[in-house]
Each structure stands twice: as structure tokens, then as C-alpha cells.
Chain A
Amino acid sequence: MFDAAISGLGHVFEIQNFLFLFIGVSMGIIFGALPGLTATMGLALLVPFTFTMSPTSGLIMLAGIYVGAMYGDAIPAILINTPGTPAAIATTFDGFPLAQKGMAQHGLVAAAIASSYGSLVANIVLATAAPPLAEASLKFGPPEYFWLGIFGLTIIATLSSGFIIKGLLGGAVGMMLSTVGMAPLGGDVRLTFGYPELQAGVELIVALIGFFCLPEILSSVIGQRRESYSSEKVVPRLSVIGEVTLSLLKKPFLMLRSAGIGTVIGFAPGAGGNIASMVSYNEACRWDKHPEEFGKGTIKGVAASEAANSAMAPGSLIPLLTLGIPGSPPAAVILGALMLHGMRPGAELFSVHAPVTFAFIMGLLVAALLVTVIGTIGSFIYARIINIPARLLAPAVVFMTILGSYSIRNNMLDVWIMFLFGVIGYASNKLKFHPAPIVLGLILGPFVEEGLVQSMLAGGAAGGVLPYMIFRPISGVLIALCLMSAFWPLFASWRAKRQPKKDACRTEDETDA
């Protein structure tokens, strides 16, 4: 295997392949950074271009795009509180406050380094342990997805130390939102109010832009006539890079844990990176010595989120390459590209097509390194973006998000939905009701529902639903995690009574208004 890896590396460094990789990473960053454009779209757009290239070159470019997009989505998350893709939601929690303190460059550099690190770790896992991990990933059945979804929801408990009922209510409403469209089981058309386009449900990115981006603009730029997005001007300096690198190096556990979470969640087929970053953020906050810093602008939060969401990408490729089951939508596009080049997933990929496969994997690795370079250099430029006066920047942002919302499904209704969510998000921020739990519910709803109803069916066939859902090894672990996560705030506040400085992770009162 090592010789395959080395030869793969050799392929990557061939001049034209390296050029493709560089282009891929750059394009990936752009696609990830523009809210409304996703990694999936970028990949889908470039797959036809790769036909004319050799499989090696084509796949290397695709690798670049995927990795680049996993970093790119942090840029708008930090600068304008809008996750470039759903995977970067948790990056906004600390990224945007950082930018508001004038430390946008810190955030961007931290994101770049953390993204690379996450990618690297996950790639090493992919290259060495893919087949056994893939077999393990198959053990995720309906009950496991259900408990995984519930575990995701327990994050609400730790993320809001305000009145927790508000967060839970938001989560439930979010889950209700996720039921709009075709029922996964039952085939009914639900809550579409006569709009056939809604059969596909509420598009996540549209909801994200609506809940995160617009309220910020409405409240500070329009409502309070703020001059610019941040209260202090950003002055990019070279020393920032060193600063950030050092502080992250001092936190090896944080980095490793975040990357680990990303890889593991990445290879549960379908779970995707959307929740990986939030789980990682939550865990980082839980185990940190100063949890009260989270949510107010600390690079630790950005690093935790970005490392996880970048680790997700190679993680989702594990079941893809070994079993042909894509772990995420971008992975599905890569599957298509593989099939088009005549390469079928499975043992074949690692034996007959080993040179190409390993070139692809090495491409992912090198792309991760490229992200560090491009990201840190780029931070000098991007960080200055928020120095642009708001009256110029905000309309452009609004305009771009409208374009983005429209272009996802080519449908005007999505733009109106974005507008509606923007208004609702603004109102809910004003009512001290943070929209993050709603988004969490929206993402996790499908997992919880599918897991629940499929388990009901299978459990019914097996003789008992509850035993079916509980007495399984992986479910047992997940249930334990849920309980621990749900009751953690009680433990934390008990601890706080003894050491008054500690506090829960993110106060709900910390709204963006």
C-alpha cells in the first residue's frame, strides 16, 4: 500500500495534475464561499470538463474542489454570519463574533489551518483503514440514525443556557419544518399548501441564508445604520498567522478530537458534515477549561467546527470507495464521475485501479495542504472585505444571496421562502429566541423521522419496537451519549456552584441584534 501511495503522490505532483489540483482547490473555495453555491454544484459543473482528461487528472481536480469547498464555507460564516454551506453553521457561532471584534483575519487563518488539519487526519484514516471502517459504517441501521439524530438534538441543551425550553421548542419547530414535502415513508405530500415545488421540502441553504444572513443585515445595517459589519477595522498582519498557529498547536486534543468526530460522522452514510461541525463545537466547548469564551469570539470555536467539517469529506468517501455508497451529496457526484470513467467502487478500485485511486487520495491530502497556503495568504484579502462600508457590501450580499437561493433549485419560491425566514429570524432574534435550534431541527428532522418510522416497521416485524431500538451495540453507545449530553448542563451548573467562573457554552442571550 505504501508504494501505491508514493506513486499516487508522484502523479499528483506532475505539472499538469498539480495545476488542476490548484485550480480545483481555488474553485472549491469560491464555491464554498458563495452562499447558495455548494460543493455539490461545483462538482456537478466540473464533471463534464473532466471527461476529456485522463481519469487521474479529472479525479485530482475533483478532489481539489471538494477539499477547497470544505474550507471556503468558513469565509462568509466568519465575515457576514452566513455559512457558505450548511456544514459551516457552527463556524458562525464564534467566527462572526471574532470578525466583529476586528479579528476576522484570526478567524480566517484558524479556519484554514483547522480545515487542513481535519482533512489530513481524515485522509490518513481513509488511506489506511478504509475497508474495515466501511464495514463498520454498514452497521448503522434505522435505530442508530434515530439515536444519532436525538444526540444531535441534545446539543440544544448545552448550547442554550437561557431558558432551555425555548431552544427545545425551536428544535421541535425546526423538525416540523423538515417534514414539509414528500414523506420519506408513506409517500404522502405534506404541508406544501398547493405548491408543487415544495414537494422537495425546504431547502436547507435557503433556510440558512434566511435565518443567519438576512436578520444580521436587517438589524445592524438597516435598523441601526451601522457603518460596517464589524465594529473595528481589520488590519491584516503577517504576525497573525504565527499567533494563530501557535495557539492552535497548544491545543492538540481539541484539534484531534474535532477531526476525529468529523471522520466518524462523515462515514455514517447520509449523516454528512452538517452535524459534524456542530457536534464537534459542542464537545470542544464541553471539555474546555474556559467554556464561557465560546460564543463570544474565540479561535477555538472556529477551529473545532472547521476541523470537523473538513474531516467529514474524506470520511464520506470511505463508504463510497469501498462499497459504492456515497456518504454525502458531493460524494454522490464523485461516484458519478468514477462510474463515467468506468471505475466501479469496491475491491476493484484498490486493486485494478489502485494507481488512480491512490492518486485521488493523495490529491485530497495535497489539497489539504494547499488550503493552508491559499487560505492564509488569501486571508489578507478576504479579511479586508468587511472593511467595505456596509451600504455597499450589504446590498451586494443580499443580491448574491437571492441569486444563490434561486440557483439551487431554479425556483422563485425558494427566494420568497428565504425572505420569509429572514423576517422570522429577525423577529425571533428580537424576541431573544435564537434561530440556531430551529436550523438544527431542520437538519436532524429527517434522520429522526426516518429512523423512527423505519424502526417502527422493522421492530413491528421483529416482534417489538422498543427492544429493537435499544438492545443493539451501537444504539447502546449512542443512547448513553444522549443521556450524558442531555444531563450535562445539570452537572455543569452543579460544578459552577463550586467554581463560579465557569459557565455553559453559549448563552441564548448572546443574540446578534
Chain B
Amino acid sequence: MKKLLTVCLALSMMVAFTGPVAAEDFPSRAITYQITFNPGGQSDLEARRQQPRLEKALGVKVVIQYKPGGGGSVGWANLVTQKPDGYFISGINIPHIVLQPMARGEAGYETEQLSPIALFQATPIGLAVMKDSPYQSLADLTAYAEKNPGAVTCGGSGTWSGHHIAHLQFQKMAGITMTYIPYKGAAPSVAAFLGGHVQALWANSNDLFQHKDKIRVLGFGTVKPFPPMPEVPTFKGQGYNLLASIDRGAGAPPETPASVIQVLEKAFLDIANDPGIQAQMLKDGFVPIAMGVEESKAYIEEKVREWAPVVKEFKK
């Protein structure tokens, strides 16, 4: 019922407002940039780095607003109810926007409802153990896990999140069973790992990079080795076709006119292609990317196809 109301509301607002709104005048007033996570987090940091450049490129003020909760779902549920006139945009995160509606059933929004503007940051996911761990390589880990199903504990952030999906996919590919222990966020999972409460950790590249002196990364979910840590092998290189990362981008409400999105896309892509921004990302342990509207849409659809069977299989 609520969904029906939301769709009706969105449609009626679209009808009422796409008429008089002249796309050539966009933007003519402040734009709200919603962050679906808590202040101080990575999404917030990126947005703050982008803010001055966005304001310069678009010529209007960009107001950052926080709407955290549900791993981002509260913010995205809010996004799809906003007017599709380009004055309200939100950060988006993959795999979140794909997995949440899929796994939860009532996340408050559907993946197709979000209109992607651009994807500008990739955070590869890696699997790590402590430096003093008995596992020297991925092969060691899988060998042990095969003989002792369920005995190996892997920490990660969240359930039905990027880490969880990577864990499930890897288990399937290697034919082993390990125990996934979800934590409420990246920071608690890293803390638990450093304290020895879990034997292995699925983590984001920037966290792994930060603690690289204390840990051994067994593999990264990228195609090519992760630039700031080139000595770490990829999963692909070790025989597992596992590509796992958390990607950040920006999106707009459904039915936002293409001309409006184009303006925003250009602004975001210009920032994403700026060498200074790119260097900054690499320094912090992220991978800069610059995917526009079409590329992002295709990427999201690909991920939907890739993960739907995994979710179906493991969701009891």
C-alpha cells in the first residue's frame, strides 16, 4: 500500500512539475546532496571533497544533508520520494542498492528506481589474516577450511552487504564452509580482527591499506592488482573469478529528466577525472573510477544478474 502511494505521489509530482520546469535553467537554486550514512564516514568525506568543486561547476550552493540508517536504505527510501527535478541527489553505494531490496524484500525502494548519475570511487574488497596467522596464502586457508568446515571465522561488515556476498561467493567457488560473523560496520569489524576475535577479515581496501603493516592480505577482488598494494595477488589471479568491491556514486530520484542528469553527470565526471582527486583517493587506499550514466546503469544491471542467484540460494 505504501509503495503504491509512493509511486502515485512520484508520478503526480512528475506530471505537475516537469511541465513548468525548464531544463535549460537548471540549476538555478541550491541542490541538496544527501548522504545516506553517518557524518565522518567515507561517503561523507568524498562528498565534502566534491562539494566545493560541484558548487563551482554548477554555480549554485550544494547543501549536504545526512539521512543515515538501515545501511543506507532509509536515505534511498527517502530519495525515491523526492521531486525528480535535479535539486535533490543522493550518494549511492553498490552493492547496497542492489542487495538491500533483493535480500530484504521491504527496503523501502527498488534498485531500478534510482537513476544513476555517476560512479566515482571503487573500494576493492580483500580477505586478510593477521601477520602471525598460520595461513600464508589463500591456498592454506582453503585447505584448512576444507578439513574443518565452519571452523574458520571471517569477520565483515553487515549482512547481505558487499562483504557478506563476497564471502558467500568465495565459499561456493572454493567448495568450503566458513563462518561469517557480521559486525555493525567496517570499524568494529576491523577492531575485532585486530583484537584476534576473528581469524580472517573481509575488509575494504582503505582499511586494509591503513593497517598493512600488521596484516597479510590474501587476495583482492579486482581485475588487476590494487595499485597502492601491488604485491597482493588478486582472487582472479589465484583461480577464483571473484570481483568484489564497494562502489560509490551519486544518483537521482526516478524519472529525473535526462537533460538534468546530463548536467550533473558532467559535473561529477569532471571531478572524478581530476588528477588531484585521483591521487588523493589512491593515497587513502581507494581506486578512482569515472563511470557515467550509461556505464553505471550497465554495471548495476550486471551486478543484479550476478548476485540474484547467490542471494536466492543462501537466503533461507
Number of residues in A with C-beta < 8 Å to the partner? 61
Interface check A177, CB cutoff 8 A: no
Contact of A333 among B39, B51, B65, B160 (CB under 8 A): B39
Task: Please determine whether A323 and B39 come into contact, CB atoms closer than 8 angstroms.
Answer: no
Task: Please determine whether A40 and B51 come into contact, CB atoms closer than 8 angstroms.
Answer: no
Task: Please determine whether A339 and B284 come into contact, CB atoms closer than 8 angstroms.
Answer: yes
Q: Mark B55-84, 1 if CB is under 8 A from A, else 0.
A: 000000000111111110110011000000
- Closest Cβ of chain A: how far from B164's Cβ, in Å? 8
Task: Please determine whether A409 and B67 come into contact, CB atoms closer than 8 angstroms.
Answer: yes
A-B contact pairs, 8 of them (CB 8 A): A142-B181, A184-B159, A184-B183, A199-B77, A200-B68, A201-B69, A344-B284, A410-B78
Report the Cα distance A332→B185, complex, angstroms. 12
Contact of B194 among A323, A410, A411 (CB under 8 A): A323
Q: For A332, what are the chain B residues with a Cβ–Cβ distance below 8 Å?
A: 38-41, 187
Task: Please determine whether A187 and B159 come into contact, CB atoms closer than 8 angstroms.
Answer: yes
Task: Please determine whether B45 and A339 come into contact, CB atoms closer than 8 angstroms.
Answer: yes
Interface check B192, CB cutoff 8 A: yes
- Closest Cβ of chain B: how far from A440's Cβ, in Å? 20
Contact of B179 among A51, A326, A337, A460 (CB under 8 A): A460
- B148-156, B167-175, B230-238, B262-270 - the one binding chain A: B148-156
Interface check B107, CB cutoff 8 A: yes
- Closest Cβ of chain B: how far from A293's Cβ, in Å? 39
Q: Mark B257-286, 1 if CB is under 8 A from A, else 0.
A: 000000000000000000000000001100
Interface check B197, CB cutoff 8 A: yes
User: What 7 A-B pairs are tightest by C-beta distance, nearest first?
Assistant: A200-B69, A196-B108, A199-B70, A187-B159, A336-B40, A44-B39, A138-B195
Interface check B23, CB cutoff 8 A: no
> Which chain B residues numbered 39 to 57 have a C-beta less than 8 Å away from chain A?
39-41, 44-45, 48-49, 51
Of all chain A residues, the one with the shortest Cβ separation from B199 is A461
Task: Please determine whether B73 and A196 come into contact, CB atoms closer than 8 angstroms.
Answer: yes
> Which chain A residues numbered 155 to 202 have a C-beta less than 8 Å away from chain B?
181-189, 192, 194-197, 199-201
- Closest Cβ of chain B: how far from A144's Cβ, in Å? 9
Q: For B180, what are the chain A residues with a Cβ–Cβ distance below 8 Å?
A: 457
- Closest Cβ of chain B: how far from A66's Cβ, in Å? 12
Interface check A270, CB cutoff 8 A: yes
Given contact pairs A47-B39, A269-B188, A324-B210, A182 touches B183 in the complex (Cβ within 8 A): no
Indicate the member of B74, B159, B190 with the most A CB atoms within 10 Å: B74
Interface check B2, CB cutoff 8 A: yes
Interface check B303, CB cutoff 8 A: no
Q: For A51, what are the chain B residues with a Cβ–Cβ distance below 8 Å?
A: 48
Report the Cα distance A40→B78, complex, angstroms. 22
Q: Specify the main secondary structure of chain A where it touches its partner.
A: helix
Task: Please determine whether A48 and B51 come into contact, CB atoms closer than 8 angstroms.
Answer: yes
Q: For A329, what are the chain B residues with a Cβ–Cβ distance below 8 Å?
A: 38, 40
Task: Please determine whether A409 and B188 come into contact, CB atoms closer than 8 angstroms.
Answer: no
Of all chain A residues, the one with the shortest Cβ separation from B315 is A187
- Closest Cβ of chain A: how far from B28's Cβ, in Å? 23
Contact of B74 among A199, A450, A460 (CB under 8 A): A199
Interface check B301, CB cutoff 8 A: no
Q: For A326, what are the chain B residues with a Cβ–Cβ distance below 8 Å?
A: 40, 187
Question: How many inter-chain contacts with C-beta < 8 Å in the A-B complex?
Answer: 166
Q: For A460, what are the chain B residues with a Cβ–Cβ distance below 8 Å?
A: 150, 179
Q: For A40, what are the chain B residues with a Cβ–Cβ distance below 8 Å?
A: 38-39
Task: Please determine whether A199 and B39 come into contact, CB atoms closer than 8 angstroms.
Answer: no
Report the Cα distance A182→B161, complex, angstroms. 13
Q: Mark A301-340, 1 if CB is under 8 A from B, else 0.
A: 0000000000000000001000111100100111111011
Task: Please determine whether A181 and B70 come into contact, CB atoms closer than 8 angstroms.
Answer: yes
Contact of A197 among B48, B74, B182, B183 (CB under 8 A): B74
Q: For B73, what are the chain A residues with a Cβ–Cβ distance below 8 Å?
A: 182, 196, 199
Q: For B179, what are the chain A residues with a Cβ–Cβ distance below 8 Å?
A: 457-458, 460-461
Task: Please determine whether B191 and A44 come into contact, CB atoms closer than 8 angstroms.
Answer: no
- Closest Cβ of chain B: how far from A67's Cβ, in Å? 18
Contact of B66 among A44, A140, A450 (CB under 8 A): A44
- Closest Cβ of chain A: how far from B221's Cβ, in Å? 20
Q: Mark B278-309, 1 if CB is under 8 A from A, else 0.
A: 00000110000000000000000000000000
Report the Cα distance A43→B39, complex, angstroms. 9
- Closest Cβ of chain B: how far from A134's Cβ, in Å? 10
Report the Cα distance A184→B192, complex, angstroms. 15
Q: For B192, what are the chain A residues with a Cβ–Cβ distance below 8 Å?
A: 141-142
Of all chain B residues, the one with the shortest Cβ separation from A141 is B197
Report the Cα distance A182→B107, complex, angstroms. 10
Q: Beyond A44-B39, A138-B196, list 17 extra A-B contacts (CB 8 Å).
A: A40-B39, A48-B64, A140-B191, A182-B73, A186-B159, A187-B159, A188-B104, A197-B78, A269-B188, A323-B191, A332-B39, A332-B187, A333-B40, A335-B40, A342-B283, A460-B150, A462-B153
Of all chain A residues, the one with the shortest Cβ separation from B51 is A48
- Closest Cβ of chain B: how far from A50's Cβ, in Å? 11
Interface check B224, CB cutoff 8 A: no
Task: Please determine whether A325 and B187 come into contact, CB atoms closer than 8 angstroms.
Answer: yes
Task: Please determine whether B69 and A199 come into contact, CB atoms closer than 8 angstroms.
Answer: yes
Task: Please determine whether A47 and B48 come into contact, CB atoms closer than 8 angstroms.
Answer: yes
Report the Cα distance A186→B284, complex, angstroms. 31
Task: Please determine whether B197 and A142 come into contact, CB atoms closer than 8 angstroms.
Answer: yes
- Closest Cβ of chain A: how far from B241's Cβ, in Å? 25
Of all chain A residues, the one with the shortest Cβ separation from B187 is A325
Contact of A319 among B40, B67, B107, B191 (CB under 8 A): B191
Q: For B188, what are the chain A residues with a Cβ–Cβ distance below 8 Å?
A: 269-270, 325
Q: For B68, what are the chain A residues with a Cβ–Cβ distance below 8 Å?
A: 200, 409
- Closest Cβ of chain A: how far from B205's Cβ, in Å? 14
Task: Please determine whether A196 and B106 come into contact, CB atoms closer than 8 angstroms.
Answer: yes
Q: Mark A29-46, 1 if CB is under 8 A from B, else 0.
A: 000000000001101100
Report the Cα distance A376→B184, complex, angstroms. 40
